[in-house]
Amino acid sequence: MMEGCTPWPEEEARRYRNLGYWQGMTFSELLAERTKVHPLQTAIISGEKRWTYQDLKQEADQLAAGLIQLGIHKEDRVVVQLPNIGELLVVIFALFRIGALPVFALPSHRKSEIFYISEYSEAKAYIIQDIYGGYDYRKMAAELQHAVSSVQHVLVVGDHENFQSLRSLYSDPASVTFPVTRAEEAAFLQLSGGSTGLPKLIPRTHDDYIYSLHGSAEICGLSEKSVYMAVLPAAHNFPLSSPGVLGTIYAGGTVVMAEGGSPERAFALIEKEKVTITALVPPLAMVWIEAAKSRKENLSSLQVLQVGGASFSKETASKLNQSFDCVLQQVFGMAEGLVNYTRLDDPEEVIVRTQGRPISPADEIQIVDDEDIVVNRGETGHLLTRGPYTIRGYYKAEEHNRRSFTPDGFYRTGDLARMTADGNLIVMGRAKDQINRGGEKIAAEEVENHLLAHEDLYDVAVVSMPDDFLGERVCAFIILREERQERPSIRELRRFLEERGLAAYKIPDRFEYVSSFEVTAVGKVSKKGLRAQIADKLNLEKKLQTK
């Protein structure tokens, strides 16, 4: 195992192998295998471009050869920040081939996140597209190379300016020797939504991830006929693996890369490419329900519509079920491992009311009280889990791991859940200090630390506030320094955070100046109290507005 990764105990690993869960297959072997079976099947559709399995394998091998010649070695980390384009898959399969680890960043991440994960992972290279969503990633890359000395290479899809073009690296695979990679080794580092000041990296092995793909593909009924459309950012664990783009490759199907999930574009793509399955977060599902009333595209190819990443009300779930002529599937997962699905043949009641059950019979679930004592079936408690594809530790985070895992290796998800009599989970809330803004996770402490860097602010507390559309939004309570006369304007605070390079989705939607924070009996800031305070205020404002 690579330094900084926590392996499963040997006994457990042996059991998962003996049960056939861990197949001993690497991602490169998987792609080679699928390519051998149907080389000319379409693997990826991305805008006007198409890759067959043969194309994907060939390009991945060529890029892999180029990366070796560039000096990227086995176990080197490479930050990959690409939008939903076919090259994303070429890049990650190339990195898998040489045993280098992609570190997945989202297109919305900015300096604060990218610098941090590059430094934390000691990344040797950074792979971007030139411009996306009006943002020029090359500017960030130039600053990154100054700030983080480990980053020796910037590789660009598109106009590369002074950097290296990804394409120019393609070389003859016969001219290099590929290192041996093994299925029990870490394949990549996934980013956690996080609940502490700094996000954590999640090492996932070939064995464990491919097992989750295998289970996901089976549960979602994927085959080589399946067409999966990625509308959520494909590097996120949900569209990457549940079953997502990689689960589709696992099943030998076709991946359609979509740029965002607006109904205008997405519905047209469904019709054009005969998409059979796609994944949404709840706010997007609400937009699709509205659009379905008036749009005329033929969506009859769609078999499964997945919704996950944030809590989905049973009212909206029922509406979605009625609006689309396909099966709704709720998905409750996490980049750390455990993924739950409602099954395609579950009764409607289960599909609209619950977040489903784990992929594997070997997934262990415990629901416990504050003292780690298991609660009665049906009662709400902290969700703990352990299993064949749930990590035993974050990357290089020994101290944090002592808090995030129990001594016997259960991961503390930070979610509050209960289990129904028939074994399905219902997410009841969250104990971790995180805000779930329509599926985008924000660690309160991370935003607080940025705000505390502002010289006018004495103290801050960041909490969620209810929102009809996104479920939750971000509210920052702030206390001004006594000696300051003037409050920084909201616009100034937002700009301050933007200039610090914080991703836009983490910038508070609302700022509330207060003279003190509500505290708990032991004198800690009561986030529960602050959440109630802003919720009450919003309610009042709503009432006044409707008067």
Closest CA to 213 of 10, 1, 27: 27
Q: Which residue from 44, 64, 235, 339 is in contact with ligand DBH, where contact means CB under 6 A?
A: 339
The answer to whether 45 and 254 are in contact (CB under 8 A) is: yes
* 192 lies in the binding site for ligand DBH (CB under 6 A): no
Q: Which residue from 22, 51, 238, 477 is in contact with ligand DBH, where contact means CB under 6 A?
A: 238
Indicate the residue among 186 and 525 with the shorter CB distance to ligand DBH. 186
**173: cis peptide before it, omega within 30°?**
no
Q: CA-to-CA distance for 426 and 429, rounded, in angstroms?
A: 9
Q: Which does 123 bind (CB under 5 to 8 A by kind): ligand AMP, ligand DBH, none?
A: none
In this structure, what DSSP letter does residue 378 have?
A: T
Q: Which does 241 bind (CB under 5 to 8 A by kind): ligand DBH, ligand AMP, none?
A: ligand DBH
Closest CA to 426 of 369, 321, 356, 352: 356
The site string for ligand DBH over 402-441 (x = CB under 6 A, - otherwise) reads: ----------------------------------------
- The least CB distance from residue 67 to ligand AMP, in Å, is 28
* 308 lies in the binding site for ligand DBH (CB under 6 A): yes
* 270 lies in the binding site for ligand AMP (CB under 6 A): no
Which stretch of DSSP H or E encloses residue 28? Answer: helix 27-37
* 441 lies in the binding site for ligand AMP (CB under 6 A): yes
Residue nearest to ligand DBH as judged by C-beta position: 333
Q: CA-to-CA distance for 333 and 309, rounded, in angstroms?
A: 7
The answer to whether 459 and 478 are in contact (CB under 8 A) is: yes
Phi, psi of 506 (to 5 degrees): -90, -10
- The least CB distance from residue 2 to ligand DBH, in Å, is 22
Other CB atoms within 10 A of residue 39 CB: 15
Query: How many residues lie near ligand DBH (CB under 6 A)?
Result: 11
The strand pair at 434-437 and 440-443 is best described as: antiparallel
* 308 lies in the binding site for ligand AMP (CB under 6 A): yes
The site string for ligand AMP over 341-380 (x = CB under 6 A, - otherwise) reads: --------------x-------------------------
* 427 lies in the binding site for ligand AMP (CB under 6 A): yes
- The least CB distance from residue 410 to ligand AMP, in Å, is 14
Q: Which residue from 331, 427, 503, 534 is in contact with ligand DBH, where contact means CB under 6 A?
A: 331
Which stretch of DSSP H or E encloses residue 381? Answer: strand 381-386
Other CB atoms within 10 A of residue 467 CB: 15
- The least CB distance from residue 160 to ligand DBH, in Å, is 32
| The token pair that represents 418 in the structure block | 């209960």
Residue with tokens 């991370």: 446
The strand pair at 411-419 and 201-205 is best described as: unpaired
| DSSP letter for each residue of 157-184 | ES--TTSEESGGG---GGGS-PPP--TT
- The least CB distance from residue 342 to ligand AMP, in Å, is 10
Residue with tokens 């499963």: 8
Q: Which residue from 100, 292, 334, 503 is in contact with ligand AMP, where contact means CB under 6 A?
A: 334
- The least CB distance from residue 191 to ligand AMP, in Å, is 8
| The token pair that represents 515 in the structure block | 């003279």
* 230 lies in the binding site for ligand DBH (CB under 6 A): no
Indicate the residue among 140 and 338 with the shorter CB distance to ligand AMP. 338
Phi, psi of 152 (to 5 degrees): -90, -25
Binding site for ligand DBH (CB under 6 A): 237-238, 241-242, 308-309, 331, 333-335, 339
> Residues interacting with ligand AMP, by CB under 6 A?
192-193, 237, 308-311, 330-335, 355, 413, 415, 427, 430, 436, 441
